Amino acid sequence: MEIIETDILVAGGGLAGLAATARFAADGLGAVCVDPLPADAEGPDLRTTAFLMPAVETLERAGAWQAMAADATPLWTMRLVDAGGEGRHVREDCPFEAREMGDWPFGYNVTNRAARRALAERVAALPGARLIDRATVARVVRRSTEAVAVLADGRQVRARLVVAADGRDSALREAAGIAARRWHYGQKTLVFCVTHPAPHEGVSSEIHRTGGPLTLVPMPDLDGRPCSSVVWMVPGPRADELAAMDDARLGVEITAETMGLFGPLTVASPRAVWPIIGQIAARLDAERLALIAEAAHVIPPIGAQGLNMSLADIETLAGLVAEAHRAGRDIGAADLLSRYHRARWLEMAARVAGVDLLNRFAQAEAQPLRDLRRLGLRAIHGIAPVRHLAMRLGMGTR
C-alpha cells in the first residue's frame, strides 16, 4: 500500500481545486490534488469564466496565468441592460467602464477548457505539486496532528491540512458534519457560443428580463467572426425547450431575446444545460479541514462572482497557510482555520445574499418590482461615486 506524505491534500480537481494546488505549491508547500477525472479530460464543458483582476492576481501568484493569457479576452466594459418584462425593449442601458478606474480591464474571459489545461500543466511543473487522477477520497481520519485520507484504491495520503474542493455535494463537508443550506430557483442555465456581425469591443452585456438574466461575454473571434459566450438563465421548462431547438431556431430566439442589440446571432457551438441553485455552508472549517469553492458556496451565474469567490477563498487560505509555514507553525491548526472562516464567511454570505437578491429581482414579473429594479440600476449608474463603489465591490476590491 502506497503512503503519500504531503503538507496539503486538495480533494477535487476542478478549476478551484487545481488553482488551490498550484497556489499552495507556488509558496513552497507540498500539495496533492485528488480528482476522479483523467488528468487530460476536458469533457463537454462549454462554459467560460470571467476572471476579475483579483482572481488574475491569484493565478499569477500560482504561476498559471501566463499560459491562460494567450486565450483570454479582456473585459473593458460591464454593461447592464434592463429590458423590463413583457415586450422586447430596452428601458435602461448602463455601461460600467473599467477605464474610469485605471488603465486595466475588469478582468479577462477564458474558456474553462483553456483554464483547466493551464492549471493542470502548472501543477505538473511545480516540484511540490502532484495530481492523482482517476481517484477519489473514500474517507478522511482527522487527528490532532495530521489528517489521513484513504483513497478508494487503498492508497493513503497523509497531510497536515485537507482542503475540500469537491463540489456542491461535498462528501468531505458532509463527513465533517458541516451543515449547508440549499435552495432552488426553478431555473436552468443554457450555455453556448454565438457569433455576431459587430465586434464586441470587450463589452460583457448582462440583460435583465423576466425569468432571469441573459449574459453575453466576449470571446476571441471564431472563423473570422466576433464571438461571445451566452449564459442564459430561464425557467426550467423554457430551458429544456430552448435546448431541444435546432441551431437556426435557437439563433432566432436569442436574437429576439437580445432585442437585436448585437445584430443577428448565429449559434456556433453545442449547447448545455445546468440547474441553478443557491447554497451556503454554515462554517468553512473543521478539524484539519477547510472548505473552498462550491463546497462552501454556490450562486447563480450573475456578475461573474462564482469562481472569483472561489479564488478569493484560495487566496485568503493560502496567505494564512504561508504565514504559518514561514513561522514554523502548524498549517492545519484550529486557530488558523478559525481565522480563515472569520476572514471569508461574512463576505461570502453577503455576496451569496446579494446575488440571490439580484436573481430574484431578475425573475420578478410584478410591474412595481420591475420598476424598482430599473430605478435602482439608474441610481447606481448615474452617481459617479456610487458607480465606482459598485465597480470595486463587484470586482472584490475596496
pLDDT digits (tens, 9 = 90+) for 280-320: 999 999 999 999 999 999 999 887 788 999 999 999 999 99
The reported pLDDT for the residue numbered 152 is 93
Q: Are 358 and 376 in contact (CB under 8 A)?
A: no
| Tens digit of each residue's pLDDT (9 = 90 or more) over 20-60 | 999 999 999 999 999 998 877 665 556 789 999 999 999 99
CA angle 25, 145, 10 (to 5 degrees): 35
Most confident of 63-67, 94-98, 376-380: 63-67
| CB environment 111-129: b (16+ within 10 A), e (fewer) | bbbbbbbbbbebbeebebb
Over range 188-217, report the average pLDDT. 89
The reported pLDDT for the residue numbered 18 is 97
Residue 300, Cβ density class (10 Å: 0-12 exposed, 13-18 middle, ≥19 buried): buried
Among residues of the chain, what percentage have pLDDT more than 70?
87
More confident residue, 46 or 111: 111
- Confidence category of residue 386, pLDDT binned at 50, 70, 90: low
Determine phi and psi for 224, rounding to 5 degrees. Answer: 80, 5
At 361, list the grid cell: 429581482
Q: Mean pLDDT of all residues in the chain?
A: 89
> Which residues have CB under 8 Å from 371's CB, separation 6+?
none
| Angle between helical axes of 53-62 and 306-326 (0-180°, round to 10) | 40
Q: Are 285 and 142 in contact (CB under 8 A)?
A: no
| Tens digit of each residue's pLDDT (9 = 90 or more) over 172-183 | 999 999 999 999
Q: Are 344 and 336 in contact (CB under 8 A)?
A: no
| Tens digit of each residue's pLDDT (9 = 90 or more) over 310-346 | 999 999 999 999 999 999 999 999 999 999 999 999 9
For residue 206, which of 388, 22, 385, 377 has the smallest C-alpha distance? 377
- pLDDT of 390 strictly over 80: no
Select 3-44+113-182+279-364's CATH number: 3.30.930.10, 3.50.50.60, 3.40.190.180, 3.90.180.10: 3.50.50.60
More confident residue, 363 or 111: 111
More confident residue, 367 or 158: 158
CA angle 284, 299, 70 (to 5 degrees): 95
More confident residue, 369 or 252: 252
- pLDDT of 372 strictly over 70: no
The enclosing H or E element of 255 equals helix 247-257
> Which residues have CB under 8 Å from 150's CB, separation 6+?
137, 138, 139, 140, 141, 156
The reported pLDDT for the residue numbered 384 is 62
Over range 192-204, report the average pLDDT. 91
Domain range annotation of the chain: 3-44+113-182+279-364
Q: Give the chain's count of helices (H) and strands (E).
A: 11, 22
Q: Which residues pair with 4 in a beta bridge?
A: 157
- pLDDT of 389 strictly over 70: no
The reported pLDDT for the residue numbered 181 is 97
User: Could you tell me the sign of the dihedral formed by the alpha carbons of 53, 57, 59, 60, in that order?
Assistant: positive
How far apart are the C-alpha atoms of 108 and 75, rounded to whole Å?
5
- pLDDT of 395 strictly over 90: no
- pLDDT of 267 strictly over 70: yes
The reported pLDDT for the residue numbered 380 is 62
At 57, list the grid cell: 492576481
Over range 176-194, report the average pLDDT. 95
The reported pLDDT for the residue numbered 375 is 58
The reported pLDDT for the residue numbered 331 is 98
- Confidence category of residue 397, pLDDT binned at 50, 70, 90: low
At 214, list the grid cell: 441573459
Range with the lowest mean pLDDT among 137-146, 241-250, 380-389?
380-389
User: Could you tell me the sign of the dihedral formed by the alpha carbons of 107, 375, 350, 170, in that order?
Assistant: negative
pTM assigned to the model: 0.91
- pLDDT of 274 strictly over 60: yes
Over range 1-20, report the average pLDDT. 95
Over range 250-262, report the average pLDDT. 90
The reported pLDDT for the residue numbered 396 is 65
- pLDDT of 88 strictly over 90: no
The reported pLDDT for the residue numbered 32 is 98
Determine phi and psi for 58, rounding to 5 degrees. Answer: -65, -45
From residue 83, give the alpha-carbon distance in Å to each of 147, 198, 370.
52, 21, 9
